[in-house]
Amino acid sequence: MSTLTLADIEKAIDITCDTVIRNEKYFSDLDGLAGDGDFGTSLATGFKVIKADLPTIDKSAIGAMLLKISMICSKHVGGSSGPICGTGFMRAGMAAKGMTEVDYATLTAMVGSALEGIMARGGAKRGDKTLLDALIPIHETMQTMDGSDLKAVLAAVTKVADEAIDETRSLVAHRGRASQVGERSSNTPDPGIVGIATILYDWCKHYGVDYTPKAAELAR
Ligand SMILES: [Mg+2]
């Protein structure tokens, strides 16, 4: 059974910061197709603070570190993304409370806890064309695997997120700002789903996992 240490999770978060910061304009451009065009900037503003604070943040346990990151998200990530990120990190941290390393079952539980929190907080459900349409099948896929090969898990969940981009493209958004434009949100990708897929694909590149993206937004 593979375990992840606090340092492993810190490194993954640092890579995520770089991904979000590098894609600031692209994510905002995607959001502008059906929303108010602030998604990339909202995220990048907060993740710049996370990147800067990460070296000195509380690392007594994974839960404590994620709780601090949650607080940064709530304070510095703008728009509707702030409470969603904040809730996700907080709930993931609660599932890793007091731990300095996590096994695969705990990692899966952290994802499950995060998505339950996001559902409760945002009131969205599967099929509403939000990031839940990536997170829910990612969690389901993790539950079907034994975690003995974390690279295989990463490849599998990246594929799930990649496919979610095209599976939800034709849907009309029912939650968030994009829902206010109704039909204009059909045939545009959901920026949150693209965001998750882009983060996972960047993790693949960093950790040496071979993955060939399908959706245009990843294969650019
Ligand atoms: Mg927006």
Euclidean distance between CA atoms 74 and 15, whole angstroms: 20
Distance in Å, CA 79 to ligand 1 centroid: 7
Does residue 220 lie in a domain region? no
- 178 touches 185 (CB < 8 A): yes
Q: How many domains does the chain have?
A: 1
Does residue 103 lie in a domain region? yes
Distance in Å, CA 213 to ligand 1 centroid: 25
Nearest CA among 56, 123, 54 for reference residue 89: 54
Euclidean distance between CA atoms 16 and 20, whole angstroms: 6
pLDDT in tens, the chain (220 residues): 589 999 999 999 999 999 999 999 999 999 999 889 999 999 999 999 999 999 999 999 999 999 999 999 999 999 989 999 999 999 999 999 999 999 999 999 999 999 999 999 988 999 999 999 999 999 999 999 999 999 999 999 999 999 999 999 998 877 666 666 666 777 899 999 999 999 999 999 999 999 999 999 999 8
Q: What is the pLDDT of residue 21?
A: 98
- Geometric angle at alpha carbon 214, from 133 and 51, rounded to 5°: 65
Does residue 211 lie in a domain region? no
Q: What is the pLDDT of residue 59?
A: 97
Residue range(s) defining the domain that contains residue 189: 3-206
Q: What are phi and psi of 218, to 5 degrees?
A: -95, -35
Does residue 215 lie in a domain region? no
Does residue 219 lie in a domain region? no
Does residue 179 lie in a domain region? yes
Distance in Å, CA 178 to ligand 1 centroid: 7
Does residue 214 lie in a domain region? no
Segment (H or E) for 5? strand 3-5
Distance in Å, CA 67 to ligand 1 centroid: 25
Q: What is the pLDDT of residue 1?
A: 54
Distance in Å, CA 4 to ligand 1 centroid: 33
CATH of the domain at 182: 1.25.40.340
Q: Which residues surround ligand 1, an ion (CB under 5 A)?
A: 31, 35-36, 38-39, 177
Q: What is the pLDDT of residue 213?
A: 98
Euclidean distance between CA atoms 35 and 189, whole angstroms: 11
Q: What is the pLDDT of residue 187?
A: 87
Does residue 218 lie in a domain region? no
- 187 touches 135 (CB < 8 A): no
Q: What is the pLDDT of residue 182?
A: 66
Distance in Å, CA 148 to ligand 1 centroid: 38
